[in-house]
Structure 1
């Protein structure tokens, strides 16, 4: 989303400009050192924030979002990132192989959805149910399951809760698969279209080759 190198770039440009401006304000213009330093700092600040504003406008245009929409999505992505870290921490508390496989699959799905939306923030609106509901359910149930599974003594009540939680997580895995498919629906549709075009082109080429071979065969017979 936002380029982490942008801050460094803005700093590397604005500070040298301010440093260059200070002696120019002192000698040619004739300002005293303190006002000259203040004026140079203002120039540097204008350049710093100007570059940031320009970069933001380019960013919003790139993603096809308004500033309000982008910041709203960014806020939700930060919250989702924290939940992903919580889900990742469940790994160290899971003991059985089957449970570990389940957690690996859940992590794979949620991180795949997150990475797709991170790359193209506008797709957030196609995965709202994931960010507002499904991700919370997955994290809370996974943590509950890990807690119950870590208990050394398991009575019938704990075992029943473990079974029910695992079954619910299985259902949520299927739900996440649907969420991922929904987020990738446009890509799948585009790929299908490209495949259809490629097949049509290939069939036309085969037909043309067959026609050319037939013409050549008739010519040879003559």
Structure 2
């Protein structure tokens, strides 16, 4: 998860503190080197834990989840990572192109959901079914299907069962796609909101331009009206001279 950056942040703060504490001990106290190193280590840990805790709380507050929820999601991601590794190993047992494409599609959807939740743990609570049951079903069914498919001497009934299992995998693929859509629903909603904001800003920017155009048209019409009487007066003067 990206929240591991809190450990890097704490280390960047703690290492300079440890160096300063160690040098200060060597210069000020002039004691044994072992004690200087212990003081430096104490300075490191004294700065590390508060910095790490502060950074973690800031990230969790930004995402809107608690520390207990974060730990729970992290545990589930660890379990899912091992299952995804098992899922990828199944490529070596594929015997047909159509099965290869099906397993590739399932792997791609599974990996997308995993990485999205890894980047944003709050998304986990919209796809809990994926982590609790759908991923297990995908891994177990694919492993058993491919294992039985490569067995020689299958009977007609066994071939029918394998065909039915493949249909079940296609249905599972659609279920995983539904999980992905459910996870992205809030993002699509935010996208619609941004589109409406863009339209509103465009209308506001076009408003002054339309007003300027209307004022310009009014000015042109007024100029025309002022010129018309002048032309008429000139025509009457020419008739009087004749």
Q: TM-score, normalised by structure 2?
A: 0.76
Which residue does 1:173 correspond to in 2? 173
CA displacement, residues 40-63 of structure 1 (integer Å, 9 cap, x when unaligned): 321222223333223222222232
RMSD: 3.0
Q: Distance in 2 between matches of 1:85 and 1:36?
A: 46
Which residue does 1:183 correspond to in 2? 183
Q: Distance in 1 between matches of 2:94 and 2:103?
A: 8
Which residue does 1:108 correspond to in 2? 108
**Residues 212 and 51 of structure 1: CA distance in aligned 2, closer, same or farther (over 3 Å):** closer
The answer (yes or no) to whether the contact 2:6–2:56 under 8 Å persists in 1 is no
CA displacement, residues 25-50 of structure 1 (integer Å, 9 cap, x when unaligned): 24423545444433332122222333
Q: Distance in 1 between matches of 2:205 and 2:19?
A: 66
Report deviation, 1:5: 6.0
- Which deviates more, 28-37 or 184-193? 28-37
Q: Which structure has the greater CA radius of gyration?
A: 2
Q: Distance in 1 between matches of 2:35 and 2:208?
A: 80
Q: Distance in 2 between matches of 1:5 and 1:146?
A: 40
CA displacement, residues 148-194 of structure 1 (integer Å, 9 cap, x when unaligned): 22223322232122111111111111111111111111111122233
The answer (yes or no) to whether the contact 2:138–2:172 under 8 Å persists in 1 is yes
Which residue does 1:194 correspond to in 2? 194
Unaligned runs of 5+ in 1: none
Report deviation, 1:218: 7.1
The answer (yes or no) to whether the contact 2:25–2:36 under 8 Å persists in 1 is yes
Q: Distance in 2 between matches of 1:200 and 1:50?
A: 45
The answer (yes or no) to whether the contact 2:94–2:146 under 8 Å persists in 1 is yes
SS in 2 for 1:151: coil
> Which residues in structure 2 correspond to 1:64-213 (within 5 Å)?
64-199=64-199
Q: Distance in 1 between matches of 2:166 and 2:14?
A: 55
**Residues 29 and 204 of structure 1: CA distance in aligned 2, closer, same or farther (over 3 Å):** closer
Q: Distance in 2 between matches of 1:80 and 1:126?
A: 16
- Which deviates more, 186-195 or 133-142? 186-195
Q: Distance in 2 between matches of 1:168 and 1:138?
A: 10
Q: Distance in 2 between matches of 1:136 and 1:185?
A: 24
Count residues with an aligned counterpart: 222
Q: Distance in 2 between matches of 1:72 and 1:151?
A: 40
1:57 and 2:76 equivalent?
A: no
Q: Distance in 2 between matches of 1:7 and 1:171?
A: 42
